[in-house]
Structure 1
């Protein structure tokens, strides 16, 4: 593999047998638009072949896995172009979603042609890779380099939903201001109407193949109408629906000053984007152009090491990690957690256990009440003392039934004169409603670490309703009287990252903490259940993993089924 020099020959870029463009156009912006099956990728491949043969470093962002054929000849029997393939099913080198900056550095330094095959990455992973790659390429490149963006409407959409804004901004920078940094761009799309108008308006040369959708034709007509005479624009618009496969209109008002209909020449490399036909044996290349993968791997490793040493994000993360270690060293070690796999309990078994717990709580409460009554009776029966000895200290009151339960990890508010008459269960229910707002009975039970079917929990809710401290059945809310009774013995919830720490410290088990932290890291993107299990090291079929997902949904910390997304309140 040899680095491209960028030196241009005098032959130019031969798009058709009778149509050639100057090599200097490699730093301009092209748009190749056309309906699926009309030769859009074929036309872009011909243009790419010409640029690579002229010594121009050319890179293709390929989300569909259709460009690997550049490495072999048209019939597959001879080597093609020495293009390095990153990622995909025919890769020379892997393409991790986190390698955008590193690969951009290597391409800028070594200046060789490459295909970045993103077809095996998820949609969110493709966006993350493309964002880092385009940002780095724009800020660091200074010599001629051409970039082909296949399916450009995915990278620069007209309607950018949440999570795509940064990628769209990086694309706009490369298209609008990339020429001064040596960057040329080719935008390839079958949906002209779906492509960002702010990006499409910066195109220097438009190559349009056949299309039939009225919205796409209107988008092309708007562009041509700004640069051509009315009669020319009408001719282009009228011919687009019936334009034969392989024929295209080339409109270059500034560079060439032409509006011309051409027949794109045949490819000299293997057509790996061809649609397979029924009953036809798909041809596979037998000869490939050789590239020095070993040398490339060494360069990538060296670039990765240099990037790790100077990347501001990694340095900031390292500083934060050291600060956490320093803070942890001054605190006592946390209790050791032992993870135990527990078999999933059936619905019937859960209901039966809840009934038993309820009966036990009722017995405990009755016992406590009986003990209190007996103590009062003994007090009345005891003869009064006649000596002047000081009275013995009053006996501590008996603990109520709820206090027999395991202590909650929630910080218990200190009783004040405003809530001294509340039992532990009633007090924790009021704190949960004051902090989280109206919640269902199941959610309130989760927030107080109780079973919503238990007698103690139901009795506590009943006492609060009777006293007018809470209201509602399907959804329970604290009343003004409840807030007055609670007084200042509670703290509002924090926000942003502090809120995530609060949940992890207070109410979530290890599985819920691990899953929620990963979802917040990926926010605002959704993460599929399969990918989430792989990232957190759990089995998708395990009861612990499924129960953790269910608990996060019940607490409204995550939403979704096949794919999950963290609640907006947890992200800064």
Structure 2
């Protein structure tokens, strides 16, 4: 079957393949179908063998990989980051991923929904800058989708890093078409989206919009592009439009101004708001993707980028020097050190610096190897149950305990991060913790090479074992940290432990859920209590953080604090 020559986005609206390099905007309030429309357009482009890259600040575009009913595979698009990642998204990997996607013409979802605000800004700034330059060398059609674009190209940046991020994306959006780059801005807050970026769009899909500021932003675009009074009058119809209905203004590209109803998607609809009376749906099958070479190439690029970053190298050398300075020296080993000349000291520091760089380069490669091994191991066994389902069970049947080895003597043998992981496992009422929980409580990233390196070290040292519920301390591991500390027996004590590691927004959400227990809260009610936009990427990120750490349960369309936060309380 030949590839489609046009993209049937809606009955009566056939888009030419040239839309891949065009500049579009989809603007609507939450729940009107803007993300659905964007993903339907992405489906059509992928089916036409176009390269598609979705920058997803919400965590919903992964659903392109599953069929509409969730029972079969969908479209082959690689997922970087998020809950359904094929490859972890390294916060400092923006440049490497951009070069990889530009040079290999890989379609991808960049799920940045679980990055912190600081990590998101740095990653997206690096990605946009590197992708712009890489496309000069690899000219080919590609379409970028910017989900919740007001977070990527804000009208008023809130930090110095956000200023750089916006500047890099605006340049890519303005000049990238020369090298084959088209894009679609998707936003429920066009008034908070950079006008310099939004005004570049030549076609706008306006869907149901009620807010005065949002309508004014759309009217500003229409009045600057369309000068007929009847076109402006159509703005009055926006508040009453049905879900999935869009008015298309395209004065130059399509030369149309008409209302259409977006056609049905062929992949799973993860953007659909859960209903109160419907069971949660999760697709059971994701389409396979060809990953040969992608992980290796990405790891090499990330390592190369980090090893050439002066800021990172300076920080590493300073950390090593601090460790050396803090290392105790036995009294009998103390000797008088002759005073070096300025020239001799400079030469010595130069040698130490080179050695430090070589050491860290080797360590980075080992981290990547450990991460790859751990990721492969995770794919070959079921994921741990959520914390809400943890019950006292023995170690996984068929998995032998680690062979006996000499117990390390002294608390200084383990790296601080590895010891923090042991302390996290010891200081809980639960018999085991999931990997997410251990990482969060020890201040590490579960997708990072450091976490996986420490996990491998603790397992091979016989300090932890893999149980059916997750990770559990062995007797040897318990002895290593001096036994269990006083474990909080109250809800307040348990929440206080988590609050030491959760960001402020997530802490506020957890406090409201605990306060409402045993009742639950709807998404909108919770968002209102913590003053965070329910449909925004920040709210989704914090919700995902609480859920992945077993602090949150969902039932009948409501969010509830996990039963594990209430020791001794009978659950009905």
- Classify the TM-score, shorter chain: 0.5 to 0.7
Aligned to 2:436: none
SS in structure 2 of the partner of residue 229 of structure 1: coil
Runs of 5+ unmatched residues, structure 1:
1-7, 339-510, 512-529, 543-560, 564-572
Aligned to 2:294: 296
Q: Are the aligned partners of 1:63 and 1:117 in contact in 2 as well (CA < 8 Å)? A: yes
**Equivalent of 2:150 in 143, 150, 153:** 153
Aligned to 1:107: 101
Alignment of 1:30-49 (within 5 A): 30-49=24-43
Aligned to 1:170: 168
Aligned to 2:443: 534
**Equivalent of 1:218 in 212, 216, 219:** 216
Aligned to 1:349: none
User: Once the two structures are superposed, what CA deviation does each residue of 1:379-425 show, in whole Å capped at 9, x if it has no partner?
Assistant: xxxxxxxxxxxxxxxxxxxxxxxxxxxxxxxxxxxxxxxxxxxxxxx
Counterpart-to-counterpart distance in 1, 2:118 and 2:276: 33
Change in CA separation of 1:324 and 1:103 when aligned onto 2, cut-off 3 Å: closer
Alignment of 1:180-329 (within 5 A): 180-307=178-305, 311=308, 313-314=309-310, 318=313
Which stretch of structure 1 is more off in the superposition, 186-195 or 249-258? Answer: 249-258
Aligned to 1:16: 10
Counterpart-to-counterpart distance in 1, 2:122 and 2:303: 20
1:221 CA displacement: 0.7
Counterpart-to-counterpart distance in 1, 2:126 and 2:230: 41
Counterpart-to-counterpart distance in 2, 1:287 and 1:336: 52
Is residue 2:66 matched to residue 1:72? yes
Change in CA separation of 1:168 and 1:233 when aligned onto 2, cut-off 3 Å: same
Counterpart-to-counterpart distance in 1, 2:244 and 2:214: 18
Counterpart-to-counterpart distance in 2, 1:317 and 1:37: 42
User: Once the two structures are superposed, what CA deviation does each residue of 1:520-558 show, in whole Å capped at 9, x if it has no partner?
Assistant: xxxxxxxxxx99983799x9xx9xxxxxxxxxxxxxxxx
1:317 CA displacement: 5.8
Change in CA separation of 1:19 and 1:308 when aligned onto 2, cut-off 3 Å: same
Change in CA separation of 1:532 and 1:143 when aligned onto 2, cut-off 3 Å: farther
Q: Are the aligned partners of 1:157 and 1:196 in contact in 2 as well (CA < 8 Å)? A: yes
Q: Are the aligned partners of 2:306 and 2:312 in contact in 1 as well (CA < 8 Å)? A: no
Q: CA RMSD in A?
A: 3.3
Larger radius of gyration: 1
Runs of 5+ unmatched residues, structure 2:
330-415, 417-438, 451-480, 486-502, 506-572
1:144 CA displacement: 1.2
Paired positions, count:
339
Q: Are the aligned partners of 2:222 and 2:232 in contact in 1 as well (CA < 8 Å)? A: no
Instruction: Tell me the TM-score normalised to structure 2 length.
Output: 0.54
Alignment of 1:401-412 (within 5 A): none
